[in-house]
Structure 1
Amino acid sequence: MKILTVVGARPQFVKACMLSRKLRSQSIIKEVIVHTGQHYNHNMSDAFFSQLALPKPDHNLGIGSDKQGKQTARMLSKIEEVLLSERPDIVLVYGDTNSTLAGSLAASKHHIPVAHVEAGLRSFNKKMPEEINRVLTDHMSTLLFCPTQTAVENLEKEGIRNEVYMTGDIMYDAILHYKSIALHQSNICARLNIKPKNYYLVTVHRAENTDDPHRLRTLLKVLTQLNENIVFPLHPRTKQRIKHWNLLDLLSSKNIKVIEPINYFDMLTVESHAKAILTDSGGVQKEAYMLRTPCITLRDETEWIETVQAGWNHVTGVSDSQTILDVVRKTIVPKAYPNLFGNGDTSETIYKILCKKTGKH
């Protein structure tokens, strides 16, 4: 069985490393990895392959950043060329990026089954490119691997009931495997001169926030008004938009440590030790929960509603800075910690389903 895995962004490298390790341990499977190059910054791409022992991509398409349509179209064209040369039995995609959509669409056009890891997530906000990507990918997929029961129910409401599996979340596999390694190897707290539970971690990258000057200004004002130590790994898109909207002055406060994007081990470490995390990232919301760190979601909604219901995640909206500040200052560590994402055996579960469905068992 030949499986062609399409990845392109930081969260996908983390998810793929666990399943790839399982796939490559079996002689009956040949995995071909395609890296679209959607994330190309060293600390958001190459460093992840190295730290996670993810095999070097068999095909690196080098797409880079661009407008949504143009980037997706270039991916689609190049992935199609790879499909025609590799002739895989299944195309495996992760999450909700443009790489996910392009891989799914290219495979579907050539009648190659698509397996979607992290299927069924919904924010119900069609203005998010990620929402469009995940909905379309689910409707093109043959095998749908859902991280939560809510995801299964979302698919059922859309009429998708066949070959839907509640597998747990593969990112939890990675957290369980790498957390202790990261905390042992990373020295980022010493480098930044920060102490555990004495700072907030902030990440902002979604277009709905970075491409709207009012929303971006509101989020940056929160950092200046919070008057607490803040660690802010600055995403390339966010950095560019801050300059474009002339908002650099809002990052001049001494309490804000603006740093370059960081590798996976450093990220796990600062997430684990933070007093709380402020983010607009779906993946970081989930990592916060898995690491038992309270989260404040800087969006109007979340696809991880279970974390909100459990009391570990608080969705603030981005209407005004005071509303966000009030939530941040009231945030505490909940006593209850429900098991939301499985038992850390998702890669094993998905592997067995893939083998069964292709007759390779």
Structure 2
Amino acid sequence: MSLFTIVAGARPNFMKIAPIIHQLQKKQREGTNVRFRLVHTGQHYDKKMSGDFFEQLNIPQPDANLGGGGGTQAEQTAAIMVAFEKELFEHPSDLVIVVGDVTSTLACSITAKKLQIDVAHVEGGIRSGDLSMPEEINRMVTDSITDHFFTTSELANENLRKSGISEERIHFVGNTMIDTLLAQKPRFKKPEGEIFEDLEPQGYFIMTMHRPANVDQEQKLKAMIAAILEGVQGLPIIFPVHPRTAKNLQVIGIQADNLRMCEPLGYLEFNYLVKNAKAVITDSGGITEEATVMNVPCITLRDNTERAETILLGTNELAGTDPKKLKPYLEKVMKGDWKSYQGIPLWDGKTSERIVDILIEKYA
């Protein structure tokens, strides 16, 4: 019997692991001789950032919680590595499955490889080329020691080939986050609260910001929000505020009647708002994928992206981090003159089936 250890630690990870878990459970019911342990590293540790995802996405409670949240990048990485090593000593695994590009991805892949355990990286091969992003370093290090790469696009495949990865280790399967999106779409629900009551379909924007380039410099954050407020022509902006952004917003004291800030939302509530929005304004990578597949205009406040397919075939555009350059993008949205989703290969809701079939063939 094979044992797979599935690692999740931060909010985006849960959407990526949920369909893999559901597919493994299905195989178990069909009699396949495979077990899995779900390890939550604790990288995100408040309920809105992790707990809700277990409930809403029907993921079983984790077999272990490593309690690796808090501290600096180095402290968090070290804490997760120490705790995960103990987990693997106590529960020897045939394969460690990591997803995405967060600290947990890096820490657990290194720990597994030092114990001579194979690593599979779901969403392997994506690159932004921006080494100022911690996530880019996490991707590069993880992919340098990974055994099997489950990729979301031909662009990711090419990145891996250029770095010398052999073809038999690259598995082009699609995007598990889209599996979750398509499966959960019928369950999306309007959030409760006064700020959401009067929202009309395509009559509001939804915005997220958390990257240091946008939120750490107070005057730049103030200028960016001012540019957005000017461009939306009075339409409501729903702004679930990331903890790091909240601190700086308090300092700059920006207010407007149509800027509606709230706590981070659950998965079903947030994507209800994305699905029905006039447009999304974000500096998140994953949200660009969800907006693209739901054919919602997406303005990304970044100078680069590791998800170029959302620009080439999707509804995403890079507006950059300069508030002065935002105006034409918002004008285009307000005129209804935005591109449509063209369809991205294998983003069809069946990625987890392909992943699990490959893993069972190789390890079960």
TM-score (norm 1): 0.93
Distance in 1 between residues matched to 2:220 and 2:5, nearest whole Å? 39
> Which of the numbers 231, 253, 258 marks the counterpart of 1:255?
258
Instruction: Give the structure 2 partner of residue 57 of structure 1.
Output: 62
Native 8 Å contact 1:299 1:317 kept in 2: yes
Distance in 2 between residues matched to 1:112 and 1:230, nearest whole Å? 47
- Give ranges in structure 2 of 5+ residues lacking alignment: none
What is the RMSD computed on CA atoms of the aligned residues? 1.6
Q: CA deviation at 1:330?
A: 1.1
The answer to whether the aligner puts 1:322 opposite 2:324 as a matched pair is: yes
The answer to whether the aligner puts 1:177 opposite 2:177 as a matched pair is: no
Instruction: Give the structure 2 partner of residue 128 of structure 1.
Output: 133
Native 8 Å contact 1:128 1:208 kept in 2: no
Matches within 5 A, 1:18-167: 18-27=19-28, 28-161=33-166, 162-167=168-173
Which amino acid letter does the alignment assign opposite residue 356 of structure 1?
E
The answer to whether the aligner puts 1:186 opposite 2:193 as a matched pair is: no
> Which of the numbers 246, 268, 271 marks the counterpart of 1:239?
246
Instruction: Give the structure 1 partner of residue 216 of structure 2.
Output: 211
Instruction: Give the structure 2 partner of residue 168 of structure 1.
Output: 174
- Give ranges in structure 1 of 5+ residues lacking alignment: none
Q: CA deviation at 1:206?
A: 1.9
Over 6 Å off, 4+ runs: none
Q: CA deviation at 1:312?
A: 1.4
More moved, 200-209 vs 263-272: 200-209
Which amino acid letter does the alignment assign opposite residue 206 of structure 2?
L
Percent of aligned pairs with the same residue? 37
Instruction: Give the structure 2 partner of residue 342 of structure 1.
Output: 347
User: Structure 1, residues 188-246: CA drift from partner, whole Å, max 9, x if none?
Assistant: 48761211101111001123323333542332222332333100000112112434xx2
Distance in 2 between residues matched to 1:38 and 1:337, nearest whole Å? 35
Instruction: Give the structure 2 partner of residue 10 of structure 1.
Output: 11
Native 8 Å contact 2:313 2:344 kept in 1: no
Q: 1:355 to 1:69 in 2, by over 3 A?
A: same
Which amino acid letter does the alignment assign opposite residue 204 of structure 2?
Y
User: Structure 1, residues 94-135: CA drift from partner, whole Å, max 9, x if none?
Assistant: 000001101101101111000000011000001100000011
Distance in 1 between residues matched to 2:243 and 2:339, nearest whole Å? 33
Distance in 2 between residues matched to 1:181 and 1:64, nearest whole Å? 30
More moved, 132-141 vs 205-214: 205-214
Distance in 2 between residues matched to 1:90 and 1:37, nearest whole Å? 20
Which amino acid letter does the alignment assign opposite residue 88 of structure 2?
L
3-state SS of paired residue (1:24):
helix
